[in-house]
Structure 1
Amino acid sequence: MKVLIVEDEPGFAATLVLGLRAEGFVVVHSTNGVDGLWEATENHYDVIVLDIMLPGLNGYEVLREMRAKEVWTPVLMLTAKDGDYDQTDAFDLGADDYLSKPTAFIVLLARLRALVRRGAPQRPVVLTAGTLSLDPARRVVQRESTTIELTPREYGVLEFLMRHKDSVVTKNEMLQQVWDAHYAGPDNVVEVYVGYVRRKIDTPFGTNTIQTIRGAGYRLDSGEYASGS
């Protein structure tokens, strides 16, 4: 099994390299994001250990570029940071697992072996609704050939609606899935963000993709069930 370690902390990297080689891994080590990105995209690896805080390019940028180039090698992100938002950002960009430093070597080894057994994931399917498309791998939203810029929360709202297109979803479902189950703020935040998304994906194009279903919630209309089609 071949593993790429992208880590700039010499002592920690040396420990990983020695430990993984002792476990039978073929190990390549890069000390910065630029070299790590080149290795990840130009050579084949079974799994990649990627630090977030790196010189040159940070781990988020390396991962974003990897997925944009359709490199689906499993990635374990490793960082001294341990905030929930750091984990969310990593998974949103396409990470497969996440560990905070310091971590026990046996735990990291078990996680890597699990990722290798799982193998590289399939490329995410592009979601479509009429002329609207959302590419989860590149996090790109387009109406025909026009790219639409969304904030992370707006993107989450649209992705959830597109994954449930032509079905009515409630505000509560959106709060639980796009925000989180412990969100304690007002539920009108859903209305606010649906409005933001409409102004970007519908208003400039004269379309009405997101429909309000009074007393029920929202439905994203794919146009596939239009009358007479």
Structure 2
Amino acid sequence: MDVLAALFHPLEPCLLMLCTDTSQSQSLERYLNPLSLPVEGLQPELQPTFDYEKSRHKVILVEPGRGERQKGVRWVDDIRRGNTWASVLVALTGADPSIRQAYQQAGADHVLRLPNAEPERETFYVELFQNPDYWNLAPPVVDPARLCLEDETRRLDLTFVQVQVVLALLYAPQHQLSFDDLAQLLGLNLRMYDVRVVEKFVSRLRSSIRKVFGTNVIQSVRGSGYRLNRGCISPPPSALH
């Protein structure tokens, strides 16, 4: 079951693409036609009045031109003001780290390097939306009562602390926690803990989830902490009622 569909019924598994050139969204729909993934294009001038909350898209893809990268940060910020559940992907044909960080701070879940050549773009997008890290209609559910993550065919047993960390990431703003937040969950002394203890804990949790479900669900946020990829883990069933 798509948990977002349960929370926001009816939810159509479709993609919204925000870009200046509408031909880009038409090309994307052609690329993704074999995956039966519909694409809706949105021009930036229509963006201020677009109802992101009502749209219920699973993924919103932002592809700004080279001269629109600062504008693109504002687009992502506007999206996040009305929509907290869709995965926001930003595709850039090369950018310095400060721009990439600005997109992440505005609420982008992934900032991706987009190839310049048209044939390479098609391969890039087809592979992207075959990857459960970016497009997963049936993510595993965290079950705090049975201390596990599971989907229809797989199960990963977790410790009590691991479950608490997953839940905290799920409900944190932007699904992000600082090193101090995580240290507190681990019961460490906030005045003198070793950040490497936090890093080792998260690394083991991330590796365990990847081994069972094949997805990289936790991202490092440089110098700050960690973020849970949006839509990659579902909240416990009780949260749906």
TM, length-normalised to structure 2: 0.48
Larger radius of gyration: 1
Tell which has more relative contact order, 1 or 2 (C-alpha 8 A, sep 6+): 2
